[in-house]
Structures are given as structure tokens and as C-alpha cells.
Amino acid sequence: MIACVLLDPASHAGKTYSLFGAEELDHEQIAKIVGDALGRPVRYEPESLESFEARLGQIGLSAHFVQHITSVYRGYQAGEFAGTNDVVEQITGRKPVSVRDYVIANRGIFQPAPQR
């Protein structure tokens, strides 16, 4: 999507795009899709914003990145990302990648870290 916008910036000047995707999923549905794609159980465990923010800081992420991700968290809680649309397909001419297809294509990044 970004590459398409950058290839023709004039036609996108001043525009804001809400990117929702073709399918609206909750956390439990995403966990099930990921688990099915990986062939192992995956579960969603809710976490408070405060705990999430503290954990992000503990793993060494920059303050700017933590602020961004916690802002996304708040937006999600407020329903700002609810809904579906076809903006990605309109701009790129291609359907967005589904959660399932993304996990299958990137299976390696979802594997547990080796034990030390």
C-alpha cells in the first residue's frame, strides 16, 4: 500500500486512508486462526494497558515505539479500528493478505525461541 502511494504521491496528497481489511476479527478469532495455521494451540490473554505498557518497556523498546503501540491499544479499545473496507484493494489493485495466509507465509517468526 505504501509503495503504491509513494509511486504516485500527487494523487494521494491530502488524503487519509482508514485501513480495516476485508474481515473484522476479534482477538480470540485471530488466536484461533493463528493456532490453526501453525498446528498448535494459541490463546489470547487480555492484559491491562498499564501492564502492557510496562512489559513493552521491559523488553527494551524505545519510548517512542511504546507510546505509538499504546496509542494503537487505546484506539482499538475505543473501536477506532472496527469495521471493514476495501481501501487496500482499491489502491493496490490486490486483495489484502489474510491473517491465515500471513502466518503460513511467515511461519518461522511464530516459532518459540530456542531454549538456552
pLDDT of 61 reads 93
Give the SS3 label for residue 50: helix
> Residue 102: which CATH number?
3.90.25.10
Residue 2 placed within a domain: no
Residue 73 placed within a domain: yes
Q: Buried (b) or exposed (e) across 47-66, using 16+ Cβ within 10 A?
A: eeeeeebeebeeeeeeeeeb
pLDDT of 62 reads 94
Residue 45 placed within a domain: yes
Domain that holds residue 56: 20-110
pLDDT in tens, the chain (116 residues): 899 999 999 999 999 998 888 899 999 999 999 999 999 999 999 999 999 999 999 999 999 999 999 999 999 899 898 999 999 999 999 999 999 999 999 999 998 878 77
Residue 15 placed within a domain: no
The total number of structural domains in the chain stands at 1
Q: What's the distance, CA 23 to chain centroid? A: 13
Query: pTM of the full predicted structure?
Result: 0.79
Residues 6+ apart with CB under 8 A from 27: 44, 46
Residue 42 placed within a domain: yes
Residue 25 placed within a domain: yes
How far apart CA 9 and CA 109 sit, in angstroms, is 32
| Cell matching residue 35 | 493456532
pLDDT of 49 reads 94
Residue 47 placed within a domain: yes
Residue 4 placed within a domain: no
| Cell matching residue 29 | 478469532
Give the SS3 label for residue 20: coil
